[in-house]
Amino acid sequence: MTLATVYAFLTFATFPIPDVISAIDPTKGLKLTMIVYYFLWVWGLNHDTDLQELVYATAPAEGKLRPSDKGVIVLIILVSLSLVWAIGSERRFAAILTMFIAVNVFAWRWLLAAIGPAIVESKEIYRTAPQDFFSLERLDAFVEYISGHWQWLRFGAMGLVLLVLNAVVFFDNARVFLASTLTQLYPKISSGQFSAILPLGLFIVFTIIEEGWIWIMRIKTDLVIAVTSDLEEKYELRPRS
């Protein structure tokens, strides 16, 4: 274990990080990160749609799209396309990314209101004799995933990164200060190199927070559903008296 740690440290210490940083094209890096971001985002939407089909006893709005649903979907699509268009300008990209997340939060709150009746009705059905406690556990796991306090913590962390990103692209002094601070922490990379990749680096951090955090919670929820579904085939579940 010790030898492996030493080897890893020496490998990292001799890795030509400054050369790699210099070779990075911020615009191309932003486009690549955007592709990954959109892929995870769309995949997540499909995952959540499938997840809801597994936990509800009755579909929200009888499974039909209401005019308000279509309006929110159109809004999300328009802002998403604007984000792609904005890649050529750091300031434009930061501003529209902030708008995109604001729309994201709005859509999340709208979703909670839209699915609320289906959740309440499903709980009542599952609690009615013969009670279906396995389905109730799956529904509770989904509710924690979709509306848990962790969502606000996640949005808060994303907002903090966006605040730094906007400060960096709109205020030169903030960019110079942050780049200089990073150079003091890691002198092998010049402040100019840090300055060039700051927007890209912050967007990567933003993507990791947004998509990494939510995918961890999705996997956790999927595990609950998989385990309860497996147990349901073998056992009966009753509450403690």
pLDDT tens digit string along 159-177? 999 999 999 999 999 999 9
Higher pLDDT, 34 or 240: 34
Q: Is there a cis peptide before residue 130, judged by omega within 30 degrees of 0?
A: yes
Q: What is the mean pLDDT of the chain?
A: 86
Q: Record the tokens describing residue 160, joined without a space.
A: 């903090």
Q: Is there a cis peptide before residue 117, judged by omega within 30 degrees of 0?
A: no
In a domain, 222, yes or no: yes
Asked if pLDDT for residue 21 goes beyond 70, the answer is: no
State which residues form the domain around 58. Answer: 14-232
Res 163: pLDDT: 96
Lowest mean pLDDT across 119-133, 166-180, 199-213: 119-133
Res 222: pLDDT: 95
Asked if pLDDT for residue 37 goes beyond 60, the answer is: yes
Where would I find the H helices in the chain? Answer: 2-14, 17-23, 26-55, 67-85, 90-127, 133-147, 150-170, 172-185, 191-207, 213-232
Alpha-carbon gap, residue 88 to 76, rounded angstroms = 20
Res 10: pLDDT: 42
Residue 236: pLDDT band by 50, 70, 90 thresholds? confident
In a domain, 62, yes or no: yes
In a domain, 88, yes or no: yes
Q: Record the tokens describing residue 130, joined without a space.
A: 């013969």
Res 14: pLDDT: 58
Alpha-carbon gap, residue 121 to 60, rounded angstroms = 10
Asked if pLDDT for residue 210 goes beyond 80, the answer is: yes
Asked if pLDDT for residue 86 goes beyond 80, the answer is: yes
In a domain, 241, yes or no: no
Counted domains in the chain: 1
Lowest mean pLDDT across 89-93, 130-134, 181-185: 130-134
In a domain, 168, yes or no: yes
Res 9: pLDDT: 47
